[in-house]
Amino acid sequence: MRHVGRSRLHGNRASRRFRQCIPAFDREEEMNLKGKKALVTAGSRGIGSAIARLLATRGAEVVVNYHENRKAADGTVEAITAAGGTAIAVQADLGSSADVHRLFAETAETLGGLDIVVNNVGINLVAPIATTAESDFDNVVAVNFKGSFLVMQHAADAVSDNGRIINISTGNTRVSMPFIGVYAATKAAVEQMTFSLARELGSRAVTVNAVLPGLTDTDGLRPEIRENASSIIQMTPLGRIGTPEDVAEVVAFLASAESRWVTGQTIGASGGLS
């Protein structure tokens, strides 16, 4: 019995069969969002851009929202269209009710409907609570808390039955770290709204979930954090910093029909750290 177990798990023939099944699985899943209409807020760079590109690769038509960096948004759109996908960039300040209303109106007009909303809005604040300026507090709350609320509020009305709302939170709501208390608090508020909205929209089979990235290697990663990442890597069971694509794969699953029985959840995408 022991000999059979080894041959199945470690034998060359079994290993070859396992490797050969991976491309076939990828081909089946490649277009599982075909015909879906998606909005990705803050989709011009980093995690947002990776999400927009992957959803488009899976067949979705995508609106890439941006605030100020039109060049980055255009770059994401160009990458999608060059790969055969469909995408446009739409500017909006997510802290402005009027802008969020316009964003959803333009999305509906352009795509002819909306099935998936990825709520990726967020800015970071690294500062001790004791010395955080009130203006900095107000700014982070306006973007992370109010902005997320406005997007979720509009998404609740805009998405089709069986739609998907996916909020991007942070692993910092689960792992205590100094100097990020205000930032983590605003993201914890997003998670609480995720729980409530999931119950409010369940009768329409709309799922609402939150993804919690850990330390992720983006161009927005602060240099001092990058330089001292070894301690976080040591705490991470999978032993590395995450990539935007790692997070995007989790979001793509939650956007798919295969996630239909998953709602009201906070899902870590941190290599096991959170």
Looking at the annotation, which residues are catalytic? 183
Structure tokens at 257: 């029909």
Q: Which residue has the tokens 């793509």?
A: 252
Amino acid identity of residue 103, one-letter, is L
Q: How many residues does the chain have?
A: 274
Asked if 165 and 120 touch (Cβ cutoff 8 Å), the reply is: no
Asked if 103 and 92 touch (Cβ cutoff 8 Å), the reply is: yes
Asked if 62 and 56 touch (Cβ cutoff 8 Å), the reply is: yes
Q: Which residues, listed in sequence order, are joined to residue 212 by a DSSP beta bridge?
A: 268
Half-sphere exposure for 139 (CA within 13 Å, toward CB):
9
Which helix H or strand E contains 39, and what residues bound it? strand 37-40
